[in-house]
Amino acid sequence: MQTSGGAQRFTHEQWPCEPKFRRVNGWRMHYIDEGAGDPVVLLHGNPAWGFLYRKFVKPLTAAGRRVIVPDMIGFGLSEKPTREQAHTLDGHIANLTSLLRQLDVRNATMVCHDWGGPTGLGFALSNRDRVRALVIMSTWAWPLPAAEFHKRIFPWRMMHAPLVGPYLLGRHNALAGRGMYLSVVDRKKFAAEAQPIYEEVLPDPGSRLLTWTWPRWIPLDESARGFARFEWLERELKTSNFPTLLVWGREDEVFDQKTFATRFKELLPHAEGPELVTGRHFLQEDSGVEIAEKINSFLDRIDGGQS
């Protein structure tokens, strides 16, 4: 498979999905659209892409579901703008909205992980007539407090400083490389099977802009540029009655289960879970098939409750 940039190739065994592209707000977005039935939209964060969900596709499509996995603009096989102004949280929500409206997605289950949380929830809470259910994993949707991990001077805040961030994450691809490696449980398997592909789709500093600019939207105080959007997300989420499943990695240190899953339970007391699986922040790498089956069981229960 060749990417939109024309340089990277993957075997069918590594990524056995047909690439599709749409123009969203002037950018070329890559996505996959497999199977038939009610759609399940799988949303990645930073610095991942749709490949993160490769273990989900077969279990979900085999259960009679349509699987849509977009690459956020700036990641994966999608176009990678080289201007920081192209990468705002509202912009990413608008890009996702454009894609799903073009595909006329309805009765969708939004699977939200990392930055796919604020992005996917932003879509869901603005398009309630198109959404059926939520699956929330290792993410957040409120302004403060940030995760303890994101408040540390080293390594997080230093990595996103004006000079250090572009050097480590831009020139040396530290987040897609060592960052992801440290955020899985089975590191040996990840290094052999997946890490080269995550690094390959971010081949040069220009293509890695989003890896060090997107985290600057994580609110650390009330002056943060994303503060108002996260206030809106928290306020709207409290009014949500979407059936919701929480799935968390036992070993997650970025959005730890005790703090963040508990907060989601406070906002969404009707939510199921959290169901714990083996996994650090990128729990899909360690427990992809298991999580997909949990999603199938969750949606089957919804179907049974509606019959």
Q: Which of 92, 113, 114, 286 is catalytic?
A: 114
Among all chains, which residue has been given the structure tokens 């007539």? 129
Decide: 134 and 113 in contact? Cβ < 8 Å.
no
Q: Which of 71, 87, 160, 252 is catalytic?
A: 252
CA atoms of 199 and 131, how far apart (whole Å): 33
Q: Which of 44, 92, 160, 281 is catalytic?
A: 281
Of 289, 295, 233, which Cα lies nearest the Cα of 109? Answer: 295
- Known catalytic membership, residue 114: yes
CA atoms of 235 and 88, how far apart (whole Å): 20
CA atoms of 136 and 129, how far apart (whole Å): 19
DSSP run (H or E) holding 245: strand 244-249
DSSP run (H or E) holding 273: strand 272-277
DSSP run (H or E) holding 158: helix 158-159
Of 206, 155, 150, which Cα lies nearest the Cα of 178? Answer: 155
- Known catalytic membership, residue 281: yes
Catalytic positions, written as ranges: 114, 252, 281
